Amino acid sequence: MFERHKGGDSAVLVCLDFGEPDYRDGVDEFVQLVESAGVTPLHIVEGKRARPDPAYFAGSGKAQEIAEVVRAHEAPLVIFNHQLSPAQERNLERVMQCRVIDRTTLILDIFAQRARTAEGKLQVELAQLAHIQTRLIRGWTHLERQKGGIGLRGPGETQLETDRRLIGIRVKRLKDQLATVQKQRATQRRARMRRGQFTVSIVGYTNAGKSTLFNALTKARIYAADQLFATLDTTSRKLFLDAEHSLVLSDTVGFIRSLPHTLVAAFRATLEETIEADLLLHVVDVNHPLRDAQVDAVNEVLQEIGAERIPQLMVWNKIDLKGGEPAVLLNEYGKIQAVRLSAMRGNGLDLLRSALVDLMSQPSEDN
């Protein structure tokens, strides 16, 4: 199914179908996630189940099947496209004789690789520690008995208590540092409000083209790539629309289906830029087969962080891939509902700028 891996990280992937209508697209997205983490997929094990097995998630028979694939490929890692409990991870590791991680751990690893600012790194570490805390239950003692050796010795209860205490101390320190960041952001927001500065946050599904749009509008040079979670750290720039109108535009982390709650909580300091915005530019990959599901996933996260009441302007991006033309779309009341454009080619950016001017000029209750 995949080319034999030549060095670096590699893994066997597990995707189970619990009857979701978009299962196949979910598998494709999972492969993208894995590759975004710098891991080469060796093989995908699939199967259908009515519900997860309490002990092995995939069931004991499927676990044995995965173990055989692991041995055949000499895989050092198994990644599930699902959320596993600590007990399920340990049970699967006993059968597989290798590390087993779930979707949450994978996304956390990608975030750890991509965080660039001090704030982003703090938020990722906080989310990682919150996840690790649930797994500090003698999780590796079975590997000590099977293989032994330095680095594979199971911790005793005293060491576990020490680990928990040290993690607790670190978590408190991180939360204190992030609280300071939040105060600084709040001060900056109050200053903008006093100046009457209109604020816009770009939101959307990961890889929808948010950073490309941000760069095209502001001439900034923030990292943009055709990969999931290319951007983690919020960047804000002043954008002059014309001689009379300007706003502060912020680029934010992309969302994804089943985004771990620990990440949403940890990134609240960053996402508060979104919560406090006057308008959200909701960027959508117009060509994606699951674009409606992606829009729903973004709106679910917005609701979770308390930003569901903020007005949205939909930006249907990547129209150039299928020869679409730029356009402004109106709803049945004649109000601007969406703009069709290509952020990569710059087609339709003038329409977006004009739409933003129109929206800024409207009374707040009409936005």
Encoding tokens for residue 315?
């930006």
* Residue spans in the chain of domains classed CATH 3.40.50.300: 191-366
What integer pLDDT is reported at residue 152 of this predicted model?
A: 39
Q: 187 or 43, which is more confident?
A: 43
What integer pLDDT is reported at residue 339 of this predicted model?
A: 96
CA 246, 254, 330 angle in degrees (round to 5)? 55
CA–CA dist 346, 230 (Å, integer): 20
Q: 301 or 7, which is more confident?
A: 301
What integer pLDDT is reported at residue 363 of this predicted model?
A: 66
* Residue spans in the chain of domains classed CATH 3.40.50.11060: 10-101
pLDDT digit string, tens, across residues 97-114:
999 999 988 988 888 887
What integer pLDDT is reported at residue 310 of this predicted model?
A: 92
Q: How is domain 10-101 classified at the architecture level of CATH?
A: 3-Layer(aba) Sandwich (3.40)
pLDDT digit string, tens, across residues 209-263:
998 999 999 987 665 555 566 555 567 888 999 888 989 898 887 788 777 776 7
In the predicted structure, residue 5 carries a pLDDT above the cut 80: no
User: What strands lie across the sheet with 99-101, from one edge to the other?
Assistant: 40-48, 10-17, 77-80, 99-101
189 pLDDT band, cuts 50/70/90, is low
What integer pLDDT is reported at residue 154 of this predicted model?
A: 46
What integer pLDDT is reported at residue 259 of this predicted model?
A: 75
User: Where does residue 144 rank: exposed (0-12), middle (13-18), buried (19+ CB within 10 A)?
Assistant: middle
Q: 140 or 169, which is more confident?
A: 169
168 pLDDT band, cuts 50/70/90, is confident
Q: What is the CATH number of domain 191-366?
A: 3.40.50.300
What integer pLDDT is reported at residue 150 of this predicted model?
A: 37
pLDDT digit string, tens, across residues 308-365:
899 999 999 999 988 889 999 998 888 999 999 999 999 999 999 999 999 988 765 5
pLDDT digit string, tens, across residues 48-59:
999 999 999 999
Distance of CA 296 to the CA centre of its chain: 15
User: Where does residue 254 fall: left (phi above 0), alpha (psi -120 to 50 degrees), or beta otherwise?
Assistant: beta
What integer pLDDT is reported at residue 18 of this predicted model?
A: 92
What integer pLDDT is reported at residue 56 of this predicted model?
A: 96
Encoding tokens for residue 132?
């690790």
Average pLDDT over residues 11-32: 90
Q: Nearest Cα to 29, choosing from 351, 314, 290?
A: 290
Q: What is the pTM of this model?
A: 0.75
Average pLDDT over residues 172-181: 83
